Amino acid sequence: MKKLLTLLIFAGIPVAYADLNHSIMSTVKIEALSAATSADKVGSSYSISGNNVATVDSNDAASIGGFGTVSDGVPALTVVSASQSTSGDAFSFSQSYLEGDVTPTSEATVGEIPNFSDITSSAAASVGTAAIGLDNHSITLTPGTGTGITLTGQFVTDLTID
C-alpha cells in the first residue's frame, strides 16, 4: 500500500489518507424519588427593652424577666410588668417572646408529621403507568400517571475524522 501511495505522489495524483470513526448511542433512564422529610425545630426567644421604666417580674423580685424552667424543651416565660419611673417623663417599653417547638420524646413515625414549625415532606414516587422504550434507536418516553419521577432519553451520534 505504501509503495502505491509513493508512486501516486510522484505521479502527481493527489492522495488523501484519513481515519474515519462513527458511533451511534441511545440511552433511556427512569428515576423515582424516595420519600423524604426535613424538619427544623424553632427555638424559643425573648427580648425586652425599655427606657425610664421600673420593672417587676412575676416573682416581685424587681428584676428583668426572661426564661424560667424548661419543660419538654420549651422554657417558661417570667412575665415582666413595667411602670413609668417618673410621671410626665418620656418612656418606652417593649418585650417579645417566641415560644419554640416542643422537643419530641421519640422519633417521628413514617407518614406522620412531627410537631415542628418548619417542615418539608414529600411522598415516595409512584411510577404508575409511566414507561420508557428503546427500539433500534427509537426512544419512547411516556409520563403516564407517574408522580415524582424523571424520564430521560438521549440519542448521540459521533463522527470523527483524523
User: Does residue 77 contact residue 97 with C-beta atoms inside 8 Å?
Assistant: yes
Q: Which residue has the cell 421519640?
A: 106
User: Does residue 125 contact residue 147 with C-beta atoms inside 8 Å?
Assistant: yes
pTM value is 0.47
The pLDDT assigned to 71 comes to: 83
DSSP string, 84-113: ESSTTS--EEEEEEE--PPPPSSPPPTTPP
Find the domain containing 20 and state its range. 14-35+123-161
Same-domain check for residues 48 and 96: yes
The pLDDT assigned to 34 comes to: 87
Tell me how many domains the chain contains. 2
Same-domain check for residues 52 and 25: no
Residue 101 lies in a domain: yes
Comparing 140 with 120, which gets the higher pLDDT?
Answer: 140
The pLDDT assigned to 57 comes to: 65
Residue 84 lies in a domain: yes
